[in-house]
Every structure is written in structure tokens, then in C-alpha cells.
Structure 1
Amino acid sequence: MHPLDALDAAAHLAATDPAAAISSLPWLSASLADDAAAGRFARWGRSSVIDENVGAAVLPRPLFDELHARAGLEAAWPVGNAGLLHVYGYLLSTTPTPYGLKRERWLTGDLERACGLAVAALLPWIGAETLLSRATSAASALLARPDALTEEAEGRTARIALGAPLPDGTAALAYAVDGLIVTMFPVADPAAVRAGLGAPRLRWNAA
């Protein structure tokens, strides 16, 4: 079975049997165990699975709980580890959003191109490093940019970084709160993102 077909099947199974869904993807089970053992989730902050665009959870609670159990992390629904949710959880989300499925950032190639990475550098099932490890490196490089924006909101310090745009205008965005990564994704119009920020607040489902 093609890895994308296997991911589709696992995403649909996750709604009723999250343990079986994760186990059906050997690379995902191995990545969760490897990242947990290496302490990589500690580089990421907290996020809610209640999406601000959808107004509803993008993952079912049993899947949320199973992911955190596999990663050896404590969480209180609907807030959990941002790396676990945005990297691995989103791969299994079937909830449509105005920007498509959450997993598309890891599958289309737009994000890796916008980060200046090699083709397929962020495909979940390839490479010697886990997707979380690769995503952490890419997001950290973006957040280190001298032109990243810093804002204070709710007593927290947030950093918004946008990479250099591609010829078609697409750019990579990374977001961190209190020094911990929350998310990264490609944006079609970085100038519009900057212009639309408005007053400082916690963004992109950060908690």
C-alpha cells in the first residue's frame, strides 16, 4: 500500500480505534517512541485541538489521549503538547478547515520548499530522523531570523517568523511562545499575514 493510502486508512480508523490506527503505521509508532525517549517534545509548547478557524476539535478525544500516552506526556483535553498535536496529530485529522486538511503542510511539499529544504525533506515516513526532529530544526531556523516579530500577549512573549518568499509568493511561518515552538506552516501571502496581525494575542491555537 502506498504510504499516503495507508495514512488515509489510519486517519479514518483513528476515529474509532486510535491505538490500532497508530500501530498500523510503523513509522509513526517508532517516531513517537523515539521522540519520547529523546525528549524532543520538550522543545514545543502547548496547543488546543479546538481550532480557531473551525471552532471545533480537529482530533477526537480518544486519539488525543492515545497520542499523549504513546509519547509519555500528560495532557488535559483539549490542551496538549503542540509538537505532538501539530506534527503527528494533524496527520490523522480528517476535519476540513478553510485551508484544507491540517496534514497537508507535511505532504504537499510547499512547506519544505518554503524552508529551502530538499524535495520530500518533510515527508513523515522517510529519512533517518523523525518528522518531529526535522520540523523542530526547520522551525528553529525560521525563529532565529533577525526579522522575526516579537509581541507580548497575556503576559507571554511570542515570536512570529516568516521566511523569504518563493517566486510564487509562498513563505514558511513559524510561531513560538515563551521560547517553545507552537506551529509551522506555509502561507500563500506573507504580506497579508503581517498586515492582518492586529493587536497582540496568542495565535494559531497556542495555549
Structure 2
Amino acid sequence: MVSAVSELARLTRAAHLAADGTAAGARAALDALPWLVSAIRDDHDADRFAAWGRSTAIDENTGTAVIPRALFEEVHARAGVAADWPIGNAGVLHCYGYLLSLEPTPYGLKRERWIESTLARACRLPPDAFHPWREAPTLLTRATAAASALLASPAAGTTQAVDGRETRLALGATRGPSALAYAVAPHAGAAPLLITMFPVADASIALTDFRAAPRLHWNAA
């Protein structure tokens, strides 16, 4: 049985390897986590990153990079996805890059949505449903399924046009704690692609704030 405590410790050590900002550190960080390398390879082979849109590695709350550029480039290279710093694939960044982020944000570390149980419970899933070190299916597969289900049948949500691009917000509840999923069309006339998924403390506030600010949210690009 996999120990979450042990795996989290390994993940933290790998994040510190990547934090030096070098290409060697980025490679060492990924190689220290065989399950992560395997998941990225599996998702690449199955073309799963295509379901996700574009995201910036510069956090909109802090104005700083969520992960070092060298790690950004290494993880995209292993995923076989073209990227031009700081704009990359949202699935690569939000599911895998965030795991190795040590950058503080007003909401804690980016990886906490996958490590802790809040999001899983909000999706009515077992508390370890998004633990990234679990055996197949990959974290990206599990996140894609949960976010897609929420966008298909939200308890509350709305759409907005931003520069002609359709954006969709979906929430798992009308008020109180909820899962949030967000998708953005890559260009006018295209179907929205997944950008992110995370828990919120109050769905009604998240919906009100979203409607009040018709722009790209949550590091979408």
C-alpha cells in the first residue's frame, strides 16, 4: 500500500531539486518521481493533453512564476507539447507542473488541490481520488473526467464571451463549499477546452465574482 506521507515527502524533495531553476535540477526532479514520468508518458501516448487549453505560468494573484522556466520547459518536452514560456498547456501545468511548485499563493501551494481531500470530497469522490502517485489512471485522466462531468452538469454556472472566445464556469453547488471547473475556447468559434479545477469555499461568491469580471480567469491564456 502506497504511503501518502512518504510520497508527499518525495514530491517535496523533488520540488526542491527543481527550485534551483536549472535544466539539470528540472530533469532530476522529474526523474526522482517515476510515477510522474510514467503518467506524463501515458498521457502523451493517449493524446490526453489535447483536451486542455492554454495557461500562463505567471500567477495572476502574485505576478510571479508558479514554477521555474527550466521546469516548465522540461515538463512540456516530456509531454510532447509545444510551449512558449510562459504560455503552455493547462493540463501539463495545472496537473503536473503545480505538483512541483513551491511558490506561495494566497490560497496555499498549487498542488494542495490534488494532495488534500477538499476537492475530491466536493466532487463526491474518495478523499484520495486525486492523489497523483496513485496507479492508473493518471492524475490528468482523473482530473479531466471530473472537470468534464462538472462542466456537463453543473449545479450552478455561467458562460461569458471574452474577445469572442467562449468561457465556461461550472460549480458543483449553488452555495457553500464546491468544486469549480473552468474552460476557455482557444479562439472564436471553437469549443472551450479545460483550464483548471479547484475547490472554493463558497460557490455563490465564486459565481458572483466571475460574472462581475468578464475576462480570462485563473491563469488562462
TM-score by length of 2: 0.90
2:14 pairs with 7, 10, 14, which one?
A: 10
Question: Does the CA-based 8 Å contact 1:182-1:206 persist in structure 2?
Answer: yes
Report the counterpart of residue 34 of structure 1 in structure 2: 42
RMSD: 1.3
Tell whether 2:157 aligns with 1:148: yes
Counterpart amino acid of residue 161 in structure 1? A
Would the aligned equivalents of 2:15 and 2:102 in 1 still touch at CA under 8 Å? yes
How far 1:56 sits from its partner (Å)? Answer: 1.0
Equivalent residue number for residue 24 of structure 1:
32
Q: Which runs of 5+ in 1 are unaligned?
A: none
Q: Does 1:163 align with 2:176?
A: no
3-state SS of the aligned residue for 1:35? helix
Correspondence for 1:192: 205
Question: How is 1:109-128 mapped onto 2 (pairs within 5 angstroms)?
Answer: 109-128=117-136
Asked if 1 retains the 8 angstrom alpha-carbon contact of 2:19 and 2:102, the reply is no
Note if contact 1:114-1:165 (Cα within 8 Å) is conserved in structure 2.
no
1:49 and 1:57 in contact (8 A); partners too: yes
Gaps of 5+ in 2: 186-191
Instruction: Work out whether 1:101 is the aligned partner of 2:115.
Output: no
State the alpha-carbon separation in 2 of the partners of residues 158 and 193 from structure 1: 15
SS in 1 for 2:168: strand
CA contact (8 A) 2:157 2:207 kept: no
CA 1:165–1:110 in structure 2 vs 1: closer, same or farther (change >3 Å)? farther
Equivalent residue runs for 1:87-98 within 5 Å: 87-98=95-106
Equivalent residue number for residue 86 of structure 2:
78
Q: Distance in 2 between matches of 1:165 and 1:30?
A: 38
Matched, 1:206 2:210: no
Question: CA-to-partner distance for each residue in 1:109-158, whole Å, 9 max, x for gaps?
Answer: 10010001122111001132000000000000011125431110111100
